[in-house]
Amino acid sequence: MKVLSLTEPYATLIKKGIKTIETRGWKTSYRGKLYIHASSTRIPKETKVNQALMSLVNPEELNYGMIVCSCELADCILMAEAFIDKVKKNQNEFASGIYAPGRYAWILKNIIVLDQPIPAKGHLGIWNLD
């Protein structure tokens, strides 16, 4: 299965359906089922002080080192100002990503929370878990 690792609170925000766009500095041609992994890396200080972001999750619901949900990676869009302006209308979505021209928006659909999170180490990029 294809997996994408994210630091918390981003994986939990996807799991909760608050975040449906993953922002990245690189594009992918992959489309299809993708599992979301919450890395074991603790929340960086610069993220912890982002009150708009941190108010969207309860620290007790974070899942370090676990695959927490699946989704469909439906599209990968090169961000332009018009796209960013559209996303800004959803304050929670906008707070949970880095939106800037030249970055990529990975569009996530059909998010399904796993009944039982799967422990995993995680890797950079999209990786395979057998």
Biggest distance spanned by C-alpha atoms of the chain: 39
Q: Which of these, 61, 57, 8, lies nearest to 37 by C-alpha position? A: 8
> Which pLDDT does position 70 carry in this prediction?
98
Q: Is the pLDDT of residue 117 over 90?
A: yes
Task: Report the mean per-residue pLDDT for the chain.
Answer: 95
> Which pLDDT does position 130 carry in this prediction?
78
Q: How far apart are CA 49 and CA 28, in angstroms?
A: 30
Q: How far apart are CA 32 and CA 72, in angstroms?
A: 5
Indicate the domain borders of the chain: 2-123
Q: Which residue has the tokens 């969207």?
A: 56
What mean pLDDT comes out for the span 98-122?
Answer: 97
> Which pLDDT does position 91 carry in this prediction?
95
What CATH class does 2-123 carry?
mainly beta
Instruction: pLDDT band for 86, please (50, 70, 90 cuts).
Output: very high
Instruction: pLDDT band for 77, please (50, 70, 90 cuts).
Output: very high
Let me know: does 2 contact 35? Beta carbons within 8 Å.
Answer: yes
> Which pLDDT does position 46 carry in this prediction?
86
What mean pLDDT comes out for the span 77-101?
Answer: 96
Instruction: pLDDT band for 44, please (50, 70, 90 cuts).
Output: confident
> Which pLDDT does position 32 carry in this prediction?
98
CA Rg, the chain, in Å? 14
Q: Which residue has the tokens 């994408």?
A: 4
Instruction: pLDDT band for 90, please (50, 70, 90 cuts).
Output: very high
Cβ neighbours for 44, distance < 8 A, ≥ 6 positions apart: 7
